[in-house]
């Protein structure tokens, strides 16, 4: 893919907040800590979900998908951002920019659909409990997951192609931390009205429609929960949905603000911060939200830690003797 009417530029300048150098060190620390927590948290969920047999359920299959997605999502942008913040030349190669654009858009679109699939899974579990294993069988889960990933990457191919065809006319400075569609469209010297209209339409398909389906699912879930007579039963049913609702609110709220509001020069810096929130902060918070609010995941972590500890004491009996002597 090449930019129209000119050869592809060799590199782009990612401006970020370069006009405010005093922000660079705090941002570097925030990005680095967020990235480390994202890697550790999501890897932990993937490992625990795969190693603990009690978590081999559709809910945790989709949660594992979300963790894999968030790992790739942040890795596509954060390492380059960290390098640029500490460098004088805040540049990214043309190939790197295209890769960022494609991967970030593909994974963001996939997450929109995957969160909707996860809400439908909760709807079936609570509103159709007797038919849950029949409806959410392994093949169905694989089909829903594959449909989410395929649709997300297909949308990215379309959006990236349309964006990269716009003429630049010598403008190579991207007023953002990474290569994203709205920021790249601002570089074009041609009329981008059609591109913006198409982006708005696609955003409605991937943001508003899934969000509407999620809200409908939770309306049925709320009605079913209110019919449960025991307080313990209601608390357990809501506990499985609370984490997902928090993640949905964080992700969709910031993404809708970014993609479904009219472009405005006054909101330029706010748009950068919002992009950082759903691109960096939300993937970091996802594993924290799911582990802190989910008893099954916390119990699985404890079982895994206990299993690893006992293996170590069996392999090195001296450790066990030391523990006994301390006791």
Residue 53 falls within a domain, yes or no? yes
Residues 103, 160: Cα–Cα separation, whole Å: 10
Cα torsion through 134, 138, 140, 146, rounded to 10: 170
> Residue 285 has what pLDDT?
81
Please check whether residue 134 lies inside any domain of the structure.
yes
Considering the domain boundaries, does residue 308 fall inside one?
A: no
Task: Render pLDDT for 1-60 as a digit per residue (tens, 0 to 9).
Answer: 444 445 556 788 888 777 777 878 888 898 899 999 999 989 988 988 888 878 888 988
Q: Which two tokens stand for residue 271?
A: 């748009």
* Tens-place pLDDT, residues 96-114: 889 999 998 999 999 999 9
Q: What is the pLDDT of residues 151-200, one digit of tens each?
A: 999 999 999 998 888 887 766 888 888 888 888 888 888 888 888 888 88
Which of 23-27, 132-136, 293-297 shows the lowest mean pLDDT across its residues? 293-297
Structure tokens at 48: 């625990």
Candidates 14, 146, 18; CA nearest to 78 is: 14
Q: Tell me if the pTM is above 0.75.
A: yes
- Domain total for the chain? 1
Contacts of 55 (CB under 8 A, 6+ apart): 48, 49, 296, 297, 300
DSSP for 154-208, please give it.
Answer: HHHHHHHHHHHTS--TT--EESSSS--HHHHHTT-SS--HHHHHHHHHHHIIIII
Residue 6 covered by a domain: no
- The verdict on residue 323 lying in a domain is no
Any domain includes 56: yes
What average pLDDT does the structure give for the chain?
A: 81
Residue 324: count other Cβ atoms within 10 Å of its Cβ: 9
**Is there a domain that residue 317 lies in?**
no
Residue 103 in contact with residue 72, Cβ under 8 Å?
yes
Residues 64, 6: contact at Cβ < 8 Å? no
What's the domain range around 215?
A: 11-293
197, part of any domain: yes
Report residue 266's pLDDT band, with 50, 70 and 90 as the boundaries.
low
CATH (domain of 49): 1.20.1070.10
3-state secondary structure of 294: coil
Confidence check: pLDDT of 255 > 90 = no
């Amino acid at each position: 893919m090449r930019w129209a009417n000119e050869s592809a530029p060799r590199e782009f300048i990612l401006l970020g907040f370069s006009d405010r150098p005093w922000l660079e060190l705090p941002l570097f620390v925030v990005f680095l800590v967020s990235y480390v927590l994202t890697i550790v948290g999501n890897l932990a969920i993937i490992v625990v979900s795969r190693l603990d047999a009690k978590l081999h359920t559709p809910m945790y299959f989709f949660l594992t998908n979300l963790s894999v997605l968030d790992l790739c999502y942040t890795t596509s942008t954060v390492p380059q951002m960290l390098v640029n913040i500490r460098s004088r030349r805040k540049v990214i190669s043309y190939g790197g920019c295209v890769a960022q654009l494609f991967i970030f858009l593909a994974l963001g679109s996939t997450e929109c659909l995957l969160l909707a699939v996860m809400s439908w899974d909760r709807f079936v579990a609570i509103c159709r409990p007797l038919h849950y294993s029949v409806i959410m069988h392994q093949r169905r889960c694989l089909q829903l997951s594959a449909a989410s990933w395929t649709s997300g990457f297909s949308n990215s191919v379309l959006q990236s192609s349309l964006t990269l065809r716009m003429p630049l006319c010598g403008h190579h400075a991207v007023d953002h931390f990474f290569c994203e569609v709205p920021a790249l469209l601002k570089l074009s010297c041609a009329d981008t009205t059609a591109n913006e209209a198409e982006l708005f339409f696609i955003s409605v398909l991937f943001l508003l429609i899934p969000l509407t389906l999620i809200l409908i699912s939770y309306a049925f879930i709320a009605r079913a929960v209110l019919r449960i007579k025991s307080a313990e039963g209601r608390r357990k049913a809501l506990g499985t949905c609370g984490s997902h609702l928090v993640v949905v609110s964080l992700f969709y709220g910031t993404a809708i603000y970014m993609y479904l509001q009219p472009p405005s020069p006054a909101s330029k810096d706010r748009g950068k911060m919002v992009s950082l929130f759903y691109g960096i902060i939300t993937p970091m918070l996802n594993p924290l939200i799911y582990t802190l609010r989910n008893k099954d995941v916390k119990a699985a972590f404890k079982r895994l830690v206990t299993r690893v500890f006992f293996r170590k004491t069996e392999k090195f009996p001296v450790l066990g003797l030391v523990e006994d002597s301390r006791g």
